[in-house]
Amino acid sequence: MSVTLDKPVPDFSAQATSGQEINLATLAGTQLVIYFYPKDNTPGCTTQGQDFRDMHADFVAAHTLILGVSKDSLRTHENFKSKQSFPFELISDSDESLCRLFDVIKLKQMYGKEYEGIERSTFLIDKQGVLRREWRKVKVKGHVAEVLQAAQELNG
């Protein structure tokens, strides 16, 4: 089962930085951006995280919580978050359960070899837990500003 636009997102529980356990059910009443990225400390993922960091105050003003997700360990996430001063939590999805729920594990190629990895994707969930927007195969440049605009419109 995976998420569908304009349908409630199934409840999930996941371990995040700062010793937090994230439960979708406990975030009811909060608008949420969940962005999936391939790997901590890589150029595109770092830039994307920095864009979310740099616009964080605008997301807060739009009453929108940001969560980043990759398969990296919590230890790697803590280092990445600290090094980049991210004001939001990162979820460790080492068992790929969240990645599978949001259908972001895709067959990729590098150096002629095929492997499964995270396709850079972002999801906007409204205060009732309903998936309202999704961006797949994300290109980093300009993406966060587009997500912010959608969050502002949805909250407005």
For 98-116, give the DSSP string: HHHHTT-EEEEEETTEEEE
Instruction: Give the separation between CA 12 and CA 62, rounded to whole angstroms.
Output: 24
Catalytic member of 22, 45, 148, 150: 45
- Rounded to an integer, what distance in angstroms lies between the CA atom of residue 13 and that of residue 71? 15
Counting Cβ atoms within 10 Å, is residue 141 exposed (0-12), middle (13-18) or buried (19+)?
Answer: exposed
Q: Is 45 a catalytic residue?
A: yes
Q: Which residues are catalytic?
A: 45
